[in-house]
Structure 1
Amino acid sequence: MTSVTKHIILAATFAFLLTACATSPTGRSQLKLYSKGQLANMGAQAFDSMKSNQKVSKQAVDNQYVSCITSYITKHVPKSVYDGEWELVVFDEPQINAFALPGGKIGVYTGLMEVAENQHQLAAVIGHEVGHVIAEHGNERMSNSTLIGMGMEVTNQLLQSNQIANSNMIMAAIGMGVQVGVQLPFSRTHETEADLIGLELMARAGFDPKESVNLWVNMDKASGGKRPAEFMSTHPSPATRIETLQSNMAAASHLANQATDRPNCQK
């Protein structure tokens, strides 16, 4: 066994031990190197920057509508995730997007409200984004990027020190392999997990979980079919997302039927 192989095996073993130190809400092993306080500080800084650099909506109707939906969703977020008042900002931008950040920050773009046709569909998106925060996906992505960066640097140094021929080409191939074989599937796993957490959140909040499927039908139409192949994408295809949601719909519908709230958020 060469010294290069020994170092790679040791690095892989170390990475495996680290990934076993935390578990996601769906039972998946996670690597989390950053504290909740660090993530909350980073989230607040990013949110402040966005508020300064993007147009914030002054439309009272839009703000009240989104705030109404958000209040029902965040009421069901565990206090261990965030035990404070969530800050919501509606950005007056045409992009079809929304996000949630650690530390209780939520942003919704007005373009999304053209695609999410009702309160239930918008609740599906907000629930999904809050799901990322609940599962600490930001922490996990940053932690894995840190670990991958360290591993790539160590591998490069080993190749150089052992005078391996074509080391630059080897590193480029490893980089592509990491992206396609690790980072992209990893991102798709996060998206699927957030879909499931969001589905449960919206159902517990009293929204109609079946509308999450209609949302992705609308999203697919809005994209005009211009999507990369799923294995090269950070997100599952709409068809895959719909299939996952439908396979979990019975449990979600049961939760929705038991919900004590019946939201009536109007545009």
Structure 2
Amino acid sequence: MRCKFPLISASLCGALALTLTACSSSPTGRQQMLLYSEQDMSQLGAQSFEQLKEKEKISTNKATQHYVQCVTDALTATLSGPQTPGQWEVVVFDSKQINAFALPGGKIGVYTGLLNVANNQDQLATVIGHEIAHVLAQHSNERLSRSQLANVGMQISSIAISGTQYHDAAMAGLGLGVQYGVLMPYGRAQESESDIMGLRLMAQAGFNPQESITLWKNMAKASGGQQPPELLSTHPSHDTRIDDLKAEIAKLPNTSTPHPQCKLMPN
């Protein structure tokens, strides 16, 4: 498979493809460079998640936790392979941030501020499905691989590196933490890809994909013309995102999956 990456020379890309077999394709067919194994990424995801749980305030509201877990369970019930139901750890953080994330290894964080914008289970499924899609498409691996190559890859094509030596140096260079680890912003191509994959996932789980449009309109209102919510900091524009989602909704097949019944009950 031929690699096409603007930050990597043809010779470097060729050397990496031969020595690291790093060229791959995303679930939508977009070409990727992936240097790390699923085990490596799960390790990074778990470490970053533990650091976040120590740093952030975890919500003690059982009703909110149950609600978010219910939506997540409905989404992950459609998955197979390494990311199967029951393997996803879900934590609700008590914060006004309008944000959520998913990390390699099946770690999901949702901030309570998001529930002020995602007004029902379908809108919440839009966001969580989007974040799960980042994991399924190995976007963290792709992003870290690009970053690593930009930092240390200039001479790699002319250096004989054993797999173990390169692996140790690469893992050390990542920083293995929240600041330099798997929580760096995604690129717009990755965000758009996760929009499409997340939409398909929520529809397959029985959620109403039309609510994704309402959700992102709510997000636009939440920005109020000022700094956008953190969740949207590197995303496509609201209009572009909504137009793309409308086009994708029109392509979705009809599903007989029962509509989930996740409700936020008074605590």
TM-score band by shorter chain is: 0.7 to 0.9
Q: Which residue of 2 aligns with 1:92?
A: 94
Candidates 46, 50, 67, aligned match of 1:44:
46
Partner of 2:221: 221
Query: 1:189: which partner in 2?
Result: 189
5+ residue gaps, structure 2: 1-7, 156-184
Q: Distance in 2 between matches of 1:20 and 1:102?
A: 18
- 1:8 CA drift (Å): 5.7
Is 1:82–1:103's contact at 8 Å kept on the other side of the alignment?
Answer: no
TM-superposition CA deviations, 1:162-194 (whole Å, max 9, x none): xxxxxxxxxxxxxxxxxxxxxx9x810000000
Equivalent residues of 1:84, 1:104 under 8 A apart: no
Q: Which has the larger radius of gyration?
A: 1
Q: Aligned pair in 2 of structure 1 residues 9, 85: CA closer, same or farther (>3 Å)? A: closer
CA RMSD of aligned residues (A): 2.5
1:260 maps to which of 232, 240, 257: 257
What is the Cα deviation at residue 251 of structure 1? 2.5
Aligned residues: 225
**Residue of structure 2 equivalent to 1:65:** 67
Corresponding position: 1:203 with 2:203: yes
- What CA distance in whole angstroms lies between the structure 2 residues aligned with 1:16 and 1:234? 29
Is the alpha carbon distance of 1:148 and 1:16 closer, same or farther for their aligned partners in structure 2, counting shifts above 3 Å?
A: farther
Structure 2 contact 88–107 (Cα < 8 Å) conserved: yes
Aligned residue for 2:248? 248
Could you tell me how far 1:221 is from its partner in structure 2?
0.7
The C-alpha deviation readout for 1:201-244, integer Å capped at 9, x for no partner, is 0000000000001111000111112359xxxx732111111011
Structure 2 residue matching 1:58: 3-state secondary structure: coil
- The amino acid across from 1:190 in the alignment is Q
Alpha-carbon offset, residue 20 of structure 1? 7.3
Indicate whether 1:53 and 2:50 are aligned: no
Deviation at 1:12, TM superposition (A): 5.8
Identity %: 51
Q: Tell me which amino acid in the other structure corresponds to 2:93.
A: F
- Letter of the 2:195 partner, please give it: D
Counterpart of 1:224, as a letter, is G
Q: Which amino acid aligns with 1:62?
A: T
CA contact (8 A) 1:56 1:92 kept: yes
- Per the alignment, do residues 8 and 138 of structure 1 end up closer, same or farther by CA in structure 2, a change over 3 Å counting? closer
Residues 32-66 of structure 1 deviation map (CA, whole Å, 9 limit, x = unaligned): 00000010011111111111111000111111111
Q: Secondary structure at the match of 1:217?
A: helix
C-alpha deviation, 1:259, in angstroms: 3.4
CA distance in 2, matches of 1:46, 1:27: 29
Offset of residue 14 of structure 1: 4.4
3-state SS of 2:44 partner = helix
Q: CA deviation at 1:99?
A: 0.4
Partner of 2:169: none
Determine the C-alpha separation between the residues in 2 that align with 1:97 and 1:133: 16
Mapping 1:104-115, distance limit 5 Å:
104-115=106-117
Contact 1:88/1:106 (8 A) holds in 2: yes
Structure 1 consecutive aligned stretches of length 4 or more whose deviation exceeds 4 Å? 12-20
